[in-house]
Amino acid sequence: MIGLVLRQRSLPAMFESKKSTKMQKLRLVLLIWALVIITTVTTREWIGVTSTVTHKLAKAINKFALRLYMQLPKNENHLISPLSISVAMGMVYLGAKHETAQEMELALGYNDEQLYNGDIHKGFQNILHNIERSKEGYELIVANSMFYQSDSLILNCYKKTLEEIYKAEITETDFANNGEKSVNEINSWVDKNTHHEIKQLFESPLSSDTRLVLVNAVYFQGAWVSEFLLKEGTFYNNGQNPKSVPLMYLRHEVPFAYIEDLDAKVIELPYNGTYISMFVILPVMKDGILNLERRLSSKILEQVTEKLTKTTVDVTLPKFTLSYKKELSETLQSLGLLSLFSEEKADLSGINGGRDMFVSHVKHHATIEVNEKGSMATAATGVGIIGFTYQPNFYAHHPFFFFIKDKRTGIILFTGCVNEL
Asked if 353 and 397 sit in the same domain, the reply is no
Sign of CA dihedral 379, 380, 383, 385: positive
Determine, yes or no, domain membership for 175.
Answer: yes
In a domain, 244, yes or no: yes
pLDDT of residue 388: 38
Query: What are φ and ψ of residue 384, in 5° steps?
Result: -85, 125
pLDDT band at 326 (very low <50, low <70, confident <90, very high): confident
Candidates 269, 335, 367, 272; CA nearest to 64 is 335
Residue 139 has pLDDT above 90, yes or no: no
For residue 9, name the pLDDT band (cuts at 50, 70, 90).
low
User: Do 278 and 253 share a structural domain?
Assistant: yes
Segments forming the whole domain that contains residue 279: 228-317+381-418
13 band by pLDDT with thresholds 50, 70 and 90: very low
Check whether residue 88 and residue 143 sit in a common domain: yes
Domain count, the chain: 2
* 390 and 351 share one domain: no
Average pLDDT, the chain: 81
The answer to whether residue 375 sits within a structural domain is no
d(CA 161, CA 130): 18
Most confident of 140-154, 179-193, 201-215, 330-344: 330-344
Q: Cα–Cα distances in Å, from 191 out to 88, 166, 187, 403?
A: 19, 20, 6, 25
Q: Looking at the structure, tell me whether residues 129 and 274 fall in a common domain.
A: no
Is the pLDDT reported for residue 21 higher than 50? no
Same domain, 285 and 413: yes
pLDDT value at residue 222: 85
Q: Indicate if 289 and 198 belong to the same structural domain.
A: no
pLDDT band at 50 (very low <50, low <70, confident <90, very high): very low
The Cα–Cα gap between 226 and 223 comes to 8
Question: What's at 28, amino acid-wise?
Answer: L
Please check whether residues 129 and 211 belong to one and the same domain. yes
CA 265 vs CA 88, 118, 256: distances in Å: 33, 40, 7
pLDDT at 206: 78
pTM of the model: 0.85
Task: Tell me: do 55 and 154 sit in the same domain.
Answer: yes
DSSP, res 135: -
Residue 376 falls inside a structural domain: no
CATH number, domain of 298, equals: 2.30.39.10
Given this model, what pLDDT does residue 76 score? Answer: 93
User: 10 Å Cβ neighbour count for 329?
Assistant: 18
Residues ≥6 apart with Cβ < 8 Å to 55: 409, 410
Q: Helix 117-131 crosses helix 82-93 at what angle (to 10 degrees)?
A: 140
Pairing of strands 309-318, 393-395: parallel
In a domain, 374, yes or no: no
In sequence order, which residues have a C-beta less than 8 Å from that of residue 26 and are 6 or more positions away?
6, 7, 8, 152, 209, 211, 212, 352, 356, 357
Q: Is the pLDDT of residue 140 over 70?
A: yes
Both 359 and 388 in one domain: the answer is: no
State the CATH number of the domain containing residue 200. 3.30.497.10
Q: Does the pLDDT value for residue 205 go beyond 90? A: no
Task: Find out whether 174 and 181 touch, Cβ atoms under 8 Å.
Answer: yes
Domain assignment present for 400:
yes
Q: Is residue 106 a part of any domain in this protein?
A: yes
CA–CA dist 204, 325 (Å, integer): 18
Amino acid at 388: F
403 and 336 inside one domain: no
**What does the pLDDT average to over 258-280?**
91
